[in-house]
Structure 1
Amino acid sequence: RPEFALGKVRLINNRQQVEIEPESGLGAVAITRSQFWRSPVSPTFHGRDIFAPVAARLSLGLSPLEFGEAIASVTMLPLSCPHQAEDGILVGHILHIDSFGNLITDVSGEYLLKLRQPIIVEVGNQCIQGLSRTYAESSGLLALIGSSGYLEIALGGGNASLFLNVGIESKVRIR
């Protein structure tokens, strides 16, 4: 039985369409009957080996329950969202650290540009004045709107995560 990074696989019967995707806990059908899978199942290509064969059979009219058992329980996971603190400071969180040690936050660049400039970004025990346009603008800490459209914290020529000693879910304050 293959292992999935996100848990089980689910089927969603959505009006005229049936969707197939990794199970995220929202309730559906666990695809557990391996006779419908392509063999051998690759550990990295479930779209080809599991999802495509199941989708093909769904298109022929098979019921989603033919592929496995109904998933009855749902587990809700907390989701961090930027929020305005009582003192008016915007509080966001680090969602991802890339391979360079850049900190990608949940704070939208679109929202940041609406704030009075220049902003001050507080992360770890450091303050960053204003937004940079590129990574090359500073050899020190900088804040910029990255290619994903969200606030990023970077360290010119270094690893911001290690320098600041922060990680996923650490707070970022913007004033």
Structure 2
Amino acid sequence: MKGVILGLCPTAALVDLCHETAAYDVLGGSFLLHSAVRFFPAGTIHVAVVDPGVGGPRRPILVQIDDHLFVAPDNGLLSYPMSSGTVRSVRVITAREYLLEQVSASFHGRDVFAPVAGHLAAGVPPERFGPEVTDAVRLAIPRTSLDPAGALTGQVVWIDRFGNCITNIRREDVEAFAPGASCTVRVLLDGRSLGGIVQFFGEAGPGGRGAIIGSTGHLELFSHQGNLARQWAIAPGGAVRLEVGA
């Protein structure tokens, strides 16, 4: 993919965001993309490929969100960025001349998305790649809520390579739920208690479990120097519950 892009635009600056997305985890990939986009300058072209439907009827799309361009499969991979920014246009990529001559059934990252990104970087305007549409696939973004007992509930949306469980509960959700009292919040994961929220991993001690506000700005559940997801067999979608004063 990098070779294709550089072959079309030798001056392109290429940045690898992540190669650790779990296979077929479209929503998790969308969350990771959303977590990183804000650090890139206006005009950045993002190529995102988590594509279990490669070679099938799913469409390739080119989306402008705020001042960023995204090239991706139309399978919901852009759900998080589209929900948090202003979607200026969504185009189905139909212009065959901007793809590789031979398009395989298994590697559209190289044969479709990379050449489109390369042509964009070389100055081809977005409107040349295909018509605008309004029916891009959007996956449901997990939301937090208060249950009848007054607890804040959410879920695990991503698990990193350390086994830390990143949730959809944001810093501002925690602060609104327990203003100035986060240290008294009890965190439960799939019904099991992790204790409270700490300021850094080491505060829990080796092997200790807890929660922090991680680098994504979301509540992150961990086992210090361990792998919480493996220890407790946690997967994305695992239920998270915050209680105050318990």
- Corresponding residue for residue 71 of structure 2: 21
Larger radius of gyration: 1
Q: Is 2:164 the counterpart of 1:102?
A: yes
Structure ranking higher in strand proportion: 1
Secondary structure at 1:147 match in 2: coil
- Which structure 2 residues correspond to residues 25-174 of structure 1 after superposition, within 5 A? 28-37=90-99, 43=109, 49-54=115-120, 56-58=123-125, 64=127, 66-71=128-133, 73-114=135-176, 115=178, 116=181, 117-137=183-203, 138=205, 139-174=207-242
Structure ranking higher in helix proportion: 2
Alpha carbons 2:102, 2:111 under 8 Å: kept: no
- Corresponding residue for residue 9 of structure 1: 61
Alpha carbons 1:125, 1:164 under 8 Å: kept: no
CA pair 135-86 structure 1, distance change in 2 beyond 3 A = same
- Unpaired runs of 5+ residues, structure 2, are 1-47, 52-58, 83-88
CA pair 10-19 structure 1, distance change in 2 beyond 3 A = same
Q: CA deviation at 1:54?
A: 4.1
Q: How many residues align?
A: 167
TM-score (norm. length: structure 2): 0.55
Q: Choose 106-115 or 143-152, whichever is displaced more.
A: 106-115
CA pair 45-163 structure 1, distance change in 2 beyond 3 A = farther
CA pair 54-157 structure 1, distance change in 2 beyond 3 A = closer
CA pair 128-72 structure 1, distance change in 2 beyond 3 A = closer
Separation of aligned partners in 1, 2:209 and 2:69: 44
- Unpaired runs of 5+ residues, structure 1, are none
TM-score (norm. length: structure 1): 0.74
